[in-house]
Structure 1
Amino acid sequence: MTDVLISGAGVAGSTLAYWLARAGLKPTVVERSRGTRSSGNPVDVRGPAVPVAEAMGVMPALREAATTATTMSLLSTSGRPVARLATPAARGRRDEVEIPRADLAAILVEAARPHAEFLFDDTITALHPDADGVDVHFDRAAPRRFDLVVGADGLHSTVRRLTFGPEQDHVHHLGLYVATLPLPRPADNPHEIALYNIPGRLASIHPARGSAIAAFIFRGPPHPDLDYRDTPRHRRIVLDAYADTGWRVPHLLDALRETDDFYFDAVSAVRLPTWTRDRITLVGDAASCVSLLGDGSTLAMSGAHTLAEALTTHADMSDALRAYEQRHRKLVAPKQRNVGIAAAWLVPKTRLGITARNLSAKAMRG
C-alpha cells in the first residue's frame, strides 16, 4: 500500500498526512474549502495528543499561538463573579495547550504540506471500493484510484455518508447547540474566560488572542430539517434563544447580527458499530465526534497517529484497521459516556442546578 486519500485538511487529516508521509506512504488530502478553515473556537491539545505534537516538532508553534486565559469566572445573574477556576496554563501545565482551532489547523497543515499533496477547493463525489483499492471521483479533479480512503472530514462527513449511509443514522443530537463568533475588540481581561448562565443557556466571552470570541451554548430540541450551511436560520435560532437574556448578551447579539463569520451546529455524538468498510475508514469527528469541552482535537490528533502507526506496523490492511479501531475506541468510549456530565456542568437546566454548579466550583477552588 502506498497511496492514501484523506478527505479533510483539519486537525485529524493533516496529522494523519504527516505521519503517513513520514512512514514512506503517499498521502493526498482533499479539502472542500479553498484553504485551511476552522471555526476558530479555542480547543485543547493535551493528554495523548501532546507526545504526537512534540514528535511532529510543532509544540513551540502551538505554545506561541496559545490563548492567554488563566482563569475561568462563573458569573451571577448580575454579572458578578461568584467562582473562579484556574486553567491548566495557570496551574503550570506546560504539557497542555489551549489554542484557537484555526491556528491549530494551520500549524498542522504547514507541518504536513511539504510531505503530502493537497487538493483544496474540491470534494469527493463518489467512492467505488473493491478488494484492492478505491476508485474515487471528485467534483473538480480527474478520477483517481487509491489503496485506502480515510474520512477525516468532520461531523458532517462526506466519506461517512457515501460509505455508511445518511447522516441521521449515525449522528445523535445531545440536546445542545453551540454558536461562536469573533468580536471586534479584545476582551476586557485578556486572561479571563467569563461564563454567564441562565437555565438552559450559557453565554461566554473568551479572550482568545487579539480579538475575543463570544460563545453561545444552549439547550433545544432537534431540528430534523436543519441545514448546517443555512447561516440566516442559524442566526435566527440564536437570537430567539437569547432574546430575553441579561449581562452583556444584548451586545453580543448585536455583533451576531452584523457578522457572517460565525459557527453554528448541534452538539452531537457520532456512533457507528465500525469505522471501516472495505478499504474506507474514518478518523476524528467523522468517526466518533464527542467534542464539547475541547476534547475533539486531542482525540483527532491521537486517533490519526494511532491509525498511521497501525497502517505502518501491520502487513495486512484489515489487521491494521482493526488494530487502530480497537485501540482508539478505548480513548473515545469514556468521553462519549461522560459528555452528559460535561453538558450538565456547563449548561445547567435549572436555576438550582446553576447554584449547585457554582458551589461545587467554589469547593474545587478551595
Structure 2
Amino acid sequence: MTDVLVSGGGVAGATTAYWLRHHGFTPVVVESSPRPRHGGQAVDVRGPALTVAERMGVADELRAARTDMRGMSVVDEDGTELMRTTELTLTGGPVDGPDVEILRDDLVDVLLRATRDVEYLYGERVVGIDDTGARVRVELASGARRDVDLVVGADGQFSTVRRLAFGPDDDGRLYPLGQHMAVFTLPNTFGLDRWQVFLQRPEAMVGLYTARRNTEVRAVMGWADAEVRYDHRDLEQQRRLVTEAFAAGGWRIPEILAGMAGADDFYLTPMTQIRMPSWSRRRVALVGDAAYCATAVSGQGTSLAMVGAYVLAGELARGTGAGAYQQRMQGFVDANQHLALVNAEKTRQLTGAEEAVEGFDAHWVASAATAIDLPEY
C-alpha cells in the first residue's frame, strides 16, 4: 500500500498527508475549495497535539503565530462590563498555559508549508468511490479518476467520503447538541487590543476577539435551537437565521450583524457530533471531524484531528491498519465527546451575564486534553 488519496485540505487532511509522506506513502490531497480556506475561529493545540507538532518540527511556528491574548471581559446588554480577567480567555483557557491558541487559517498555513512536497488538487472533490478490495477507483468532480490503495476522508463534519463509503447519514451517527455557531471576520472598529469580550444571553452568546495584530476581530455568535435546520451550503439562508436569532440584541449586536452581510468568510455550523461504530471500511478510513466530530464546544476538535492523523498514518506504517488506529484513539475521542456534552450543559446554565461571570472562571478541558498515550512511530 503506497498511494493514498486524502479528501480535505484542512487541519486533519494536511496533518495526515504529512505523516503519510513521512512514513513513505505517496499522498495526494483533494480540496473542494479553489484555494486554501481562509477565516475560521481561533483553535487550540493542546497536550498530545502539541507533541505531534513537535515531532513535525512546526511547534515553534505555531507558537510564533499564536493569538497572544491578554485576557477577556464579559458585558451585559447595555455594554456594561461585569467581569474582567487577565488570567484566562474563554476560547483559549489560561493565558500563561502551555497550550497554543492559533487562528485556524494560520495553523493550516503552517501545515501547508510542512507539506510542500505533497500534491494538492484545489477546486476538486470526490464524487464516487469504487472499492474493489484490491484498489480503490476514485471519481473526481472534474471527471478525472485516480486509482489508489487507500482513501482517507478528512473532509469534515459533512463528509462526502463518509456518505459514499458508509451510506447516508441517517443511521444515528449524527448526534445534534441543539446549538449552532456562526463565525466571521470584521474590521477591528471595536477598540480591542489583544482582547476578548463576550455577551452571554439566555440560550445565546456573542463574542469578539482580536486577530491579525488587532486589525481584525473574529465574531462568534452562538445560540440554542433544537428545531432549526439549514443547508450547510446556503450562506444566505444561514445569514437570515443568524439575523433572526439576534434581531432584538443590545450591546454591539446590530453593528456585528451589519458587518456579517459583507463577511466573505462567514460560516454557520450546527454543534453535531459524529459517532460511528467503525471509522474504516475496506480501503476507506476517516479521520478528524469526518469520523468523530466532538464539536467546537469541546475545544478539542483540532487536537483530535492532529492526533488522529498522526496515529492513523503511524498504524498504517506499522501494518496494523485502521482497526489499530481506532482502538488507540477511541478513549481519547470518547473523553472529548463527553467533554462537549458537559460544556454544552454548562453553557445552557449560564442564562445571563451575571451567571456567566461566575462560570467563565473555570477552564473546562482539563484531563480530556491528555487522555491518550501517544506512541512513537
Partner of 2:253: 249
- In structure 1, the residue matched to 2:43 is 43
Whether 1:144 aligns to 2:146 is: yes
Q: 1:153 aligns with which of 152, 155, 166?
A: 155
Show the counterpart of 2:53: 53
Q: Which amino acid aligns with 2:11?
A: V
Task: Kindly state the Cα deviation for residue 341 of structure 1 after the two structures are TM-superposed.
Answer: 1.9
Cα gap change, 1:253 to 1:302, in 2 (>3 Å): same
Match of 1:113, SS state, is coil
- TM-score, structure 1 as length reference: 0.91
Give the equivalent residue in structure 2 for 1:198.
201
CA distance in 2: counterparts of 1:49 and 1:357, whole angstroms: 29
Gap runs ≥5 in structure 1:
none
Alignment of 1:170-189 (within 5 A): 170-185=173-188, 187-189=190-192
Question: Does the CA contact (< 8 Å) of 2:7 and 2:154 recur in 1?
Answer: yes
Single out whichever of 180-189 and 333-342 deviates more from structure 2.
Answer: 180-189
Contact 1:187 1:206 in 2 (8 A): no
State the AA in 1 paired with 2:224. R
User: What's the % identity of the aligned pairs?
Assistant: 38
Q: Which residue of 2 aligns with 1:223?
A: 228
How far apart in 1 are the matches of 2:296 and 2:33?
Answer: 24
1:143 CA displacement: 1.4
| Aligned match of 2:134 | 132
Partner of 1:96: 99
Flag the 1:90–1:359 CA change in 2: closer, same or farther, 3 A.
Answer: closer
Give the Å deviation of 1:248: 0.8
Task: Tell whether the 8 Å contact from 2:8 to 2:32 is kept in structure 1 after alignment.
Answer: yes
Aligned to 1:277: 281
Shift in Å, 1:328: 1.0
Q: 1:286 aligns with which of 275, 290, 296?
A: 290
Cα deviation for residue 107 of structure 1 reads: 1.3
* CA displacement at 1:363 relative to structure 2: 8.1
Provide the C-alpha distance between the structure 2 equivalents of 1:178 and 1:349, rounded to a whole number of angstroms: 16
Give the distance between the partners of 1:205 and 1:26, measured in 2 at CA. 41
Q: State the alpha-carbon separation in 2 of the partners of residues 242 and 63 from structure 1.
A: 35
- Residue identity in the other structure for 1:290: A
**1:207 corresponds to which residue?**
210
Alignment partner, residue 166 of structure 1 = 168
Question: Partners in 2 of 1:204 and 1:151 — Cα distance?
Answer: 32
2 CA distance for matches of 1:40 and 1:363?
24
CA gap 1:311/1:161 in 2 versus in 1, 3 angstroms: same
Q: Does 1:237 align with 2:246?
A: no
**Deviates further, 201-210 or 181-190:** 181-190
1:138–1:46 CA distance, 2 compared to 1 (3 A): same
CA contact (8 A) 2:181 2:270 kept: yes
TM-score of the pair, normalised by structure 2: 0.89
**CA deviation profile, 1:184-239 (whole Å, cap 9, x unmatched):** 22652322211101101100001122311111010112334x21011111011000
CA distance in 2, matches of 1:348, 1:250: 25
Q: Is the Cα–Cα contact under 8 Å of residues 45 and 97 in structure 1 kept in the other structure?
A: yes
CA drift at 1:360: 4.1
- Matched with 1:296 is 301
**Structure 1 residues 164-196: Cα deviation after superposition (integer angstroms, max 9, x where no partner):** 122343222211111111112265232221110
Q: Which moved more, 1:285-294 or 1:231-240?
A: 285-294
**AA matched with 2:16:** L
Runs of 5+ consecutive residues of structure 2 not aligned to the other structure? 364-377
Q: Classify the secondary structure of the residue corresponding to 2:102.
A: strand
2:43/2:104 contact within 8 Å kept: yes
1:118 lines up with 2:120 in the alignment: yes
Q: Which residue of 2 aligns with 1:81?
A: 81
What is the SS of the residue equivalent to 2:285?
strand
Q: Distance in 2 between matches of 1:89 and 1:217?
A: 19
In structure 2, the CA distance between the partners of 1:157 and 1:362, relative to structure 1 (3 Å rule), is closer
The worse-fitting range, judged by mean Cα deviation, of 191-200 and 338-347 is 338-347
Match of 2:13 in 1: 13
Inter-partner Cα distance in structure 2 for 1:345 and 1:39: 27
Per the alignment, residue 106 of structure 1 pairs with 109
Shift in Å, 1:285: 0.4
Instruction: Sort the Cα spacing of 1:46 and 1:161 in 2 relative to 1 into closer, same or farther, 3 A.
Output: same
Deviation at 1:284, TM superposition (A): 0.4
Bigger mean CA deviation after superposition, 22-31 or 71-80: 71-80
Contact 2:350 2:356 in 1 (8 A): no
Deviation at 1:72, TM superposition (A): 2.6
Structure number having the greater helix percentage: 1
Q: How many residues align?
A: 355
1:244: Cα distance to partner?
Answer: 0.8
Q: Which amino acid is 1:20 matched to?
A: L
Q: Distance in 1 between matches of 2:76 and 2:144?
A: 57
Q: Which residue of 1 aligns with 2:368?
A: none
Give the AA of the match of 1:136.
V
Cα shift at 1:362: 5.3
Larger mean CA deviation between 80-89 and 187-196 belongs to 80-89
CA distance in 2, matches of 1:250, 1:130: 55
- Number of the residue aligned with 1:334: 335
**Alignment check: 8 A CA contact 1:89 1:97 kept:** no
What amino acid maps onto 1:334 in structure 2?
A
